[in-house]
């Protein structure tokens, strides 16, 4: 995000030909997904996670780059506290009403969160024809 601060401010919310309508929308998407997976590894119910997604969507809607960076910082602190307190090799089940149940270790989920963010940050140049459903990939791979 520091690199984005060096660019003209209007580029953050400017329309782009991409998977996302703007850089701001891409960062908001990543924030929502990071929030979702934090709820999952924290043991929240699916319904509680849906509420978290609604809240994260509202928090990230139309905010400045500085505010978005603060939201990410707050979420990163939650992840840090979680990682310090957990057995990272522990495997648990993540039930989903559509995809079934995923059995994965905490590190597998953290790796997925990191890879998702990296992938989506590269998505703007990829264009709208690129489609990926990382959640589906996780559930399919775990069932093999």
Q: Tell me the pLDDT tens digit for each residue of 92-114.
A: 999 989 999 999 998 999 998 88
Question: Which residue from 69, 66, 60, 2 is spatially nearest to 36, judged by alpha carbons?
Answer: 60
When comparing pLDDT for 129 and 78, which is higher? 78
Residue 133 lies in a domain: yes
CATH of residue 98: 1.20.120
Question: Is there a domain that residue 11 lies in?
Answer: no
∠ at Cα 140 (134, 142), nearest 5°? 105
Give the CA angle between residues 90, 132, 112 to the nearest 5°: 20
> Most confidently modeled of 15-24, 57-66, 85-94?
57-66
Residue 26's nearest CA partner among 137, 117, 87 is: 117
| Number of domains comprising the chain | 1
- Average pLDDT rounded to a whole number, residues 20-48: 93
The pairing of strands 100-105 and 91-96 is antiparallel
* 67 found inside a domain: yes
Band of pLDDT at residue 7, cut at 50, 70 and 90: confident
56, two tokens: 């994260």
* 10: in domain: no
pTM: 0.81
List all residues 6 or more positions away from 121 whose beta carbon is below 8 Å from its beta carbon: 26, 30
Count other C-beta atoms under 10 Å from residue 120's C-beta.
19
| Domain extent for 97 | 16-142
Q: Is 34 or 1 the better-scoring residue by pLDDT?
A: 34
Q: Is residue 4 part of a domain?
A: no
Residue 56 has pLDDT above 50, yes or no: yes
Q: What is the mean pLDDT of residues 104-133?
A: 72
In a domain? residue 130:
yes
């Amino acid at each position: 995000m520091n690199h984005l601060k060096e660019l003209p401010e209007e580029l953050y919310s400017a329309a782009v030909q991409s998977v996302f309508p703007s850089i701001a929308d891409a960062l908001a998407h990543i924030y929502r997904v990071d929030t979702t997976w934090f709820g999952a590894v924290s043991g929240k119910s699916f319904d509680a996670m849906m509420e978290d997604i609604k809240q994260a969507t509202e928090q990230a809607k139309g905010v400045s780059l500085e505010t978005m960076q603060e939201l990410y910082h707050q979420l990163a602190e939650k992840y840090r506290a979680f990682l310090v307190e957990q057995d990272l090799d522990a495997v648990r089940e993540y039930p989903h009403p559509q995809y079934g149940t995923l059995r994965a270790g905490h590190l597998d989920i953290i790796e997925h969160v990191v890879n998702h963010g990296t992938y989506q940050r590269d998505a703007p140049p990829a264009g709208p024809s690129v489609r990926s459903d990382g959640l589906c990939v996780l559930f399919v791979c775990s069932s093999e």
